[in-house]
Amino acid sequence: MPTKAKYRKEHDTLGDVEVPANALYGAQTQRAVENYPVSGLREHPAFIRSFLLLKKAAALANNELGVLKDRLARAISGAVDELTGDDSIPFDRAAQHAGRGKSDEEEREDDLRYVPFKIPSPYIAPEHRGQFVVDVFQAGAGTSFNMNCNEVIANLATVALGGKIGEYKLVHPNDHVNMSQSTNDVFPSATRIATLLLLRELFPALDSLAFALDTKGDEFSTVIKSGRTHLQDAVPITLGQEFKAYAAAMRRATRLLYESAAELRPLGIGGSAVGTGINTPDGYRYTVVKYLTVLTGLELSSIEDLREGMQSQLPVVAVSSALKNLALELSRVTNDLRLLASGPLTGLSEITLPSVQPGSSIMPGKVNPSMLECMNQICFHVIGSDTTISYASQAGQLELNVMMPLMAYELLFSIDILKNYLPTFVQKCVSGIGADRERCEAYFITSPSLATALNPLIGYEKAAAIAKESAKTKKPIPDLLREKKLLTPKQIAEIFTPDSLTGQADKKVRQ
């Protein structure tokens, strides 16, 4: 019996190419597979989805503007629905929705924190995920991946119209799926959309982290301890105040990230090859954005200057930088928690961490701060990715930055690993942190830095002498004051109370 052919022959502008017989992609994708066997890494599903939705939006826009026949636009739209596994906004409803204004009742609250639209999962239909085979390290600008998407959509649309895979007579990857587009405006637009989609998932996780730290701040509000500056004993603070400050830092870093994300909303789609809009019908740039808004649930707009949208990747860099700053703050807090939990007998051991796994293959009973160590590594990767994105951004030349594939991958991967780990980190680490009250109070009462509170009463020099004697003799400062009768028992009692020592900054000024 004759065996079924493993390959089919396709033709592109460079000649013939053998393509796996059942592949939905074609010649240009196969060339990329052979040319770039680099990492085995593939584009993030959110990025693929964004690319596909952009293709659907382009087909709808071209159809509305009269340059793409109705049956072709429907076939392309249907192919995208099949690939994404989401037909919630089919061709007719998308056209209807985009063509009319929204009433007050239909007005969307486009707040990335609260996910107004249901997040698609897993972004791409599982049965089609394997059709997107181009390595993330590929030719500049992402032409290979753009053609991967064009070919897959064209073949599915061709089959829907009764044709055969690989023929491209009914639906052509370039002439129809890529109509009014260039890799140069599609790739950066898809990067921005994918980033916004992933940030929708990250922001709630960051809010949960800040809330968990804040909750611990309330729980530890009466646990007084020695503060530390320069890693040396300092004036007292409560453990709750430390955790409240951690929560405030996370909220500030999150807000800065949220604000930078607004820079991603203006898109350069419609600029075509160099930002001049060559080969696009009148009104295309605004029409395609109108459909993208419907399909993604994001409030998007057309960038003021399409040339800038092609040349500059500043919005991506702004988000990456804010993400790096968040990672720096998160790593700082993580380092503090590791230090506060060090011990249990020879470290600070002021807090206890949940035990999640055995800590050593040789030392029985050892438990390590494993969740914190993982978080540190994630933060380090995010910081390194920002460096990569920074270098890639400045490497743009004239009308195009060809380093976009690397930038897209690094940014989306950074968001992904953070949003994947944060819920587990909150659940298995932060929420289970306990306080060793006795240890904290023992450090507090024996700290020579308590002498600072004496400055207004006995002066800096006498207070310094008391501090030195306390450090030398290991006697608590209140005991020395009683022995030397430098203050009355009542004064000592009033000074060395938790509220007096740690509450001044939070007291409201009376009008």
Active site residues: 360
Provide the residue type at 136 as one letter. V
Let me know how many helices (H) and strands (E) the chain has, helices first.
18, 8
Q: Rounded to an integer, what distance in angstroms lies between the CA atom of residue 65 and that of residue 287?
A: 8
Could you tell me the CA-to-CA distances from 382 to 44, 192, 393, 395, 408 in Å, in that order?
Answer: 16, 18, 16, 20, 13
Parallel, antiparallel, or unpaired for β 351-352 and 301-302? unpaired
161 CB burial (10 A radius; 0-12, 13-18, 19+): middle
User: ∠181-186-189 over CA atoms, to 5°?
Assistant: 140
Question: Which of 39, 46, 37 has its CA nearest to residue 413?
Answer: 46
392 with 406: CB under 8 angstroms? yes
Using CA atoms, how far apart are residues 344 and 442, in angstroms rounded to an integer?
15
Cβ 444 vs Cβ 227: under 8 Å: no
Q: What's the start-to-end Cα distance of the chain, in Å?
A: 97
Nearest by Cα to 80 from 59, 62, 98, 53? 53
Kindly report whether the peptide bond that precedes residue 423 is cis, defined as omega within 30 degrees of 0. no
DSSP 176: I
Tokens of 155: 């073949």
Backbone angles phi, psi at 116, to 5 degrees: -65, -30
Q: How far is CA 380 from the centre of its chain?
A: 14
Using DSSP bridges, classify how beta strands 15-20 and 7-12 pair: parallel, antiparallel or unpaired: antiparallel
Residue 138 burial (10 A CB sphere; 0-12, 13-18, 19+): buried
How many CA atoms lie less than 13 Å away from 129 in the CB half-sphere?
Answer: 14
DSSP symbol at 509: P
DSSP 8-class letter at 113: T
Residue type, 203: F
